Amino acid sequence: MVCLDASPMDDGLLKYTRFIVNTAEAVEHIYFVNVLRRMQLPSEVKAEFPELEDNMLQERKQELDKGIQKYFSDNKDVQTELIVQSGGRVRTFKKLIKKYNIDLVMIGRKIDNTGSGIITQRMGRRCPCNLMIVPQGSEVKIMDSSEKHVMQVLVDFSEHSKHALETAIQMATNFSNTQVVCQHVYSVPTGYHYAGKSHDEFGEIMVKNAKKQFKQFIKGLDTRGIELIEEYTLDDNEDRVYDMIVLANKLKPTGIIFGSKGVSAASSFFIGSTAEKLIKIDTEFPLYVIRKPGESKGIVEVLQRM
């Protein structure tokens, strides 16, 4: 499902959607969705012009369809459908995700201060399936086939991060000149000096242990011939998100791929505080939050009780 808003941002989002279709496996159907706020009209005006809202929706649909056809008219392998409705955006998005059994939601993010970003953040907290956030302008890199592409994967050796890595590998195999960088952020415990080691010495111990964990982590993983580059980052400011963004500014990744933590007691409830902060501050690189298979059903059930 691709969330459009009839702004200049849509063109970049459509370009990135085409990229995903070309690099993902088994994309069968794309729902392009635009939600307009309901018209607040006096009852007398509604009675006099009963077709006003329907005409507005139809006009918007015709406008959006031109942009969609620009990138998808020649793609006969994927079915496309444009849905234009009025109502609350996040609520409508969630209903359509359930109705059409959506696997991935793609949503844009404005970076020119013309939007508050609140819809993107709400979708980050409440989206029950995989979510890709595409900042405005980030699609430029993918249009250059000569450009080297990097998938930055955040690895903490959990099952969630393994699914994120598998996704990155799958995308890399379908797009030329791509490498996968696995970033593990580690820290030195505050009581390191009790072990008779300096800060640097204990840091080396932590990295050595992390490298052993990484070997075990990828054991049995089908890398499909893709080279996995290990990146170990010392978190010395208790801010993992800052460390991730610093590396992203260096790598200029085509996408940052992050395994969500599912339902939790954290303030972000569905994705964990680290992912929520990434969604809030990352305004340059596409962010792909993926869920462990089978986890979405439980999240949908929770949402229905809210």
Q: What is the mean pLDDT of the chain?
A: 83
Q: Which residue has the higher pLDDT, 47 or 3?
A: 3
**Helical spans, DSSP H, in 27-88:** 43-48, 52-72
The distance in angstroms from the start CA to the end CA of the chain is 22
pLDDT at 114: 54
User: What tens digit of pLDDT does each residue of 281-302 get?
Assistant: 888 899 998 887 655 544 344 3
pLDDT at 221: 93
Determine the length of the chain: 306
CATH number, domain containing residue 217: 3.40.50.12370
> Model-level pTM?
0.83
Strand order in the sheet with 29-36: 79-86, 29-36, 2-4, 104-109, 130-135, 287-290, 255-259, 149-154, 178-186, 228-234
User: What tens digit of pLDDT does each residue of 57-88 get?
Assistant: 999 999 999 999 999 988 778 899 999 999 88
User: What tens digit of pLDDT does each residue of 38-55 get?
Assistant: 777 677 777 777 788 888
Angle between helices 295-304 and 89-99 (to 10 degrees): 130
Q: Percentage of residues in the chain with pLDDT exceeding 70? A: 84
User: What tens digit of pLDDT does each residue of 210-260 get?
Assistant: 999 999 999 999 999 898 999 999 998 888 889 999 999 999 998 899 887
Total domains, the chain: 1
Single-letter residue type at 158: S
**Exposure letters 157-175 (e unless 16+ CB within 10 A, then b):** eeebbbbbbbbbbbbbbeb
Angle between helices 240-251 and 273-281 (to 10 degrees): 50
User: What tens digit of pLDDT does each residue of 94-145 get?
Assistant: 999 999 999 999 999 887 655 556 888 888 777 888 899 998 887 766 655 5
Range of the domain at 87: 2-304
**Helical spans, DSSP H, in the chain:** 9-23, 43-48, 52-72, 89-99, 118-126, 159-173, 199-217, 240-251, 273-281, 295-304
